[in-house]
Amino acid sequence: MSLAALVLVVGAAGLHAGWNAIAKRGSDQVVFLWLATLASSAAMLPLGLWYLAAEGLPAAAVPFVLATIALHTVYFYALGRSYASGAYSLVYPVARGLGVALVPIVALLLFDERLSPLGTAGIVLVVSGIAALHLLPRGGAARPVAAGRALLWPVITGLTIASYSLVDKAGVARLNPVPYMLLLEGGCAFLGLPLLRARREAVRRELRGWRAIVLAAVMSALAYTLVLFAFRISKTGYVVAARELSIVLSAVIGSLWLREGCLGPRLAGAAIVLGGVACIALAR
């Protein structure tokens, strides 16, 4: 993985862990995420329109734009439901880990992206570290049953992550990442308007903390724009796996800021993830 791609992905990982933690603190996470999508669409509008006016919208990119809008709409809804039903330190590793496991396999079939032995070892370490984080004891008499039920939405989230990552790898090969991101966010925001109308009281409640919404929106848009640029210069499997450096940050955020405990064991699991990311960074 090139240094430029690694820098883009590491920056994206930090931003991603941060905005997800902010979203988790919302009282209605689904509404929070859609308000953040509206805000990020507005923030990206001037620059995105400038690119579209200068470069146009290639017809070859349209199917990928439509596909990613549909997938991201499911993703945002599933992510909101995930955070409403489970701990940040459970939801985040499961959702992100599924993408790491699935994307390289499908990328091999679709793009003929063959990973080196070192890159493959890195992905195995990332997945193993995520599994270790998930298997940590969380206490409570009926926690295994509750955790099992809480896994449904994180699993759906992970499947959408794997799907949109592959779509977007192909999409940004046909359209600059900046207008691509604008169309993605704007399309999701439009599709979410009926949900916001149906939850007007929740919207009013979330808007009292509008600064958190704006901060999450900017961090989210910037994080994925960096990933889209990384897709242009590196293999999909490496980019998706290296993004999981954010698992290290989520271990600290979940334990300290969100008070979910088990900092030591979570950092041990996160260290395995970090070792995998190091292997990916050195792979070619």
For the chain, which residues make up each domain, given as ranges?
3-282
The sign one gets for the Cα dihedral 148, 254, 85, 195 is negative
Distance CA 44, CA 5 (A): 22
Residue 4: the pLDDT is: 86
Half-sphere exposure of 244 toward its Cβ, with a 13 Å CA cutoff? 41
Distance CA 243, CA 238 (A): 8
Residue 17: the pLDDT is: 84
* Contact by Cβ (8 Å): 37, 189: yes
Q: What is the pTM of this model?
A: 0.79
- Give yes or no for residue 137 having a pLDDT over 70: no
Torsion on CA atoms 84, 86, 87, 91, rounded to nearest 10: -100
Considering only residues 99 and 203, tell me which one the structure prediction assigns the higher pLDDT: 203
- Kindly tell me the burial class for residue 117, based on how many C-beta atoms sit within 10 Å of its own C-beta (0-12, 13-18, 19 or more): exposed
Distance CA 100, CA 1 (A): 16
The sign one gets for the Cα dihedral 125, 126, 130, 133 is positive
- Give yes or no for residue 231 having a pLDDT over 60: yes
Q: Is 7 helix (H, G, I), strand (E, B) or coil?
A: helix
Q: pLDDT tens digit string along 87-120?
A: 676 677 777 777 666 777 777 777 777 778 887 8
Tokens found for residue 217: 């929106």
Could you give the C-alpha distances from 35 to 50, 161, 218, in angstroms and in order? 24, 20, 12
Question: Which of 75-89, 142-156, 172-186, 260-274 is most confident?
Answer: 172-186
Query: Mean pLDDT for the chain?
Result: 82
**Residue 205 — very low, low, confident or very high, per pLDDT cuts 50/70/90?**
very high
Amino acid at 268: A
DSSP symbol at 60: G
Half-sphere exposure of 47 toward its Cβ, with a 13 Å CA cutoff? 13
Which ranges in 172-209 belong to alpha helices (H)?
177-198, 200-207
Distance CA 143, CA 148 (A): 8
Distance CA 241, CA 139 (A): 29
Residue with tokens 């999981």: 244
First CA to last CA distance, the chain: 6
Q: Which of 48, 43, 14, 50 is nearest to 218 (CA)?
A: 43
* Contact by Cβ (8 Å): 203, 32: no
Residue 226: the pLDDT is: 92
- Give yes or no for residue 224 having a pLDDT over 60: yes
Residue 89: the pLDDT is: 65
Roughly what angle, to the nearest 10 degrees, separates helices 88-111 and 3-24? Answer: 140
Considering only residues 282 and 81, tell me which one the structure prediction assigns the higher pLDDT: 81
Residue 168: the pLDDT is: 93
Half-sphere exposure of 86 toward its Cβ, with a 13 Å CA cutoff? 29
